[in-house]
Every structure is written in C-alpha cells, then in structure tokens.
Amino acid sequence: MPRSKKVKVWLKLVTPEFLGRKEVGEIPANEIEAAKGRRVILSAIDVLGDFNKYYLKFIFKVGEVDNQSAYLYFDGLECTRDYIARMIRRRVDRTDLVVDKVTKDGIKLRIKTITVTRRVPKGIRAKIRNKIDEILSTETHQLTMEEFILKVLSDDFKSSIISVLNKIYPIRNFEFRKIEVKTPLEDLVRIEKEKTAIK
C-alpha cells in the first residue's frame, strides 16, 4: 500500500503586538510545532503599510504557534544594499559604528549605523562615533526593545541625531543600517509572556 502523504498546514503569519498584531502572509509547515524558530523576512511596506520605508526589511522568527497562526517575534531590521549604495557617492566619507546595547527590558541588540559626510579627518570621525554611541546608550537604557525600534522607525529620531552631530561636523545623511536581536528566541518569548502577565 502506498504511504499516505502528509498534508501541509498553512499558518497565518502574525506580527508582534508593537507592530499591530496583524496578518502579513502565510507559511506552510509539515507539522505545526516545526514552524517554531523559522526565519521570516518581510518588507517594511508589508509590515507598516508605509511606502516611505521601502528601503527597510524586517526580520522575524516564529516564536509561538497554534492551529491557525504563527506568531512572529522581532529579530532585526536592515536597509537594502541599493539604498545604502545610493547614500555613498563620490567625495564623501562614511563613518560606520557597530555597538551592542541592552534595552530596559534586558534584550541585547547589535546596532549598526552609517553616517555620511564630506571628507572628514579621523579625529572628527571618532567624535561622531562617540556621540552616536552616547545617544544609543541613553536611549536603550531608558526604552524597552519595542519602544526603541518604534523610535528608530521615526524620522524625528534620525533628524534629532543629525542635529546633534551637525554640531561636530556637517552631516549629509545618517541611517540605522542594521539592527540585530542577539537575545535567544526562547528568552524573547519568556520576556513577552512576563510583560503580558504584568498587564
């Protein structure tokens, strides 16, 4: 007798609460539990409905599942390569910063920024990096991971950083190039459950 084929189930992808807890697609799974830990990449247009954020990609991981849905946990965001390439033109300097920070709710983030200026002395670059590091330390100390990511998505936050950096050296552009969550998925799920229990 031929073996009966396992029927794949389709699970609805649901974004985290801080991003609206909305359905953004489906994924197939041979077994529901096997979907846990799966990495999902979505455009910011799909997640936020904001066409001005066309250059952003969201990275999620499936943290929890039920019979119909796969619940996504934020795992990072990243600018597209084309977008970054357009920022870097002739006769400009890029100053990159990579730092690890821990948010108010104990989530470790690796934050990568890029600052674009005209040609700049090395000493000035160091001052720019130090000032960005200082700003990020203050913000992550005061904000939960969700609050910090929402702030990063705000153009006002980037504008305020540029305003501060302009006092050091004229800034052409500033961007959060990439943010990665370094806290393990199981800890993210636990932290989220603890927050929900407090509510």
Looking at the structure, do residues 108 and 68 belong to the same domain, yes or no?
no
- pLDDT of the chain along its 199 residues, tens only? 455 566 688 999 999 999 999 999 999 988 888 899 999 999 999 999 999 999 999 999 999 999 899 999 999 999 999 999 998 877 889 999 999 999 999 999 999 999 999 988 889 999 999 999 999 999 999 999 999 999 999 889 999 999 999 999 999 999 999 999 999 999 999 998 888 777 6
Specify the pTM: 0.92
Instruction: Quote the strand ranges of 48-188, DSSP E.
Output: 56-65, 69-79, 92-102, 108-118, 173-181
Phi-psi region of 116 (alpha: psi -120 to 50; beta: other; left: phi over 0): beta
What local confidence, expressed as pLDDT, does residue 88 receive? Answer: 86
Which of 79, 101, 117 delimits the end of a domain? 79
The answer on 70 and 92 residing in a single domain is no
Q: What is the pLDDT of residue 195?
A: 80
In the chain, what is the straight-line distance between the N-terminal and C-terminal CA atoms, in Å?
54
Looking at residue 64, its pLDDT comes to 94
Residue 89 lies in a domain: yes
141 & 102 share domain? yes
Residues 6 or more apart in contact with residue 30 via CB below 8 angstroms: 6, 8, 9
Instruction: Residue 108: give its domain's CATH number.
Output: 3.30.479.30
Neighbours of 71 (CB within 10 A): 22
Max intra-chain CA distance, the chain:
77
pLDDT of res. 1: 47
**pLDDT of the residue at 3:** 57
Residue range(s) defining the domain that contains residue 67: 11-79
User: Per the structure block, which two tokens stand in for 167?
Assistant: 């006092």
What's residue 122's pLDDT? 85
As for how many domains the chain has, the answer is: 2
Assigned domain for 72 exists: yes
Same domain, 75 and 23: yes
- Residue 119 resides in a domain: yes
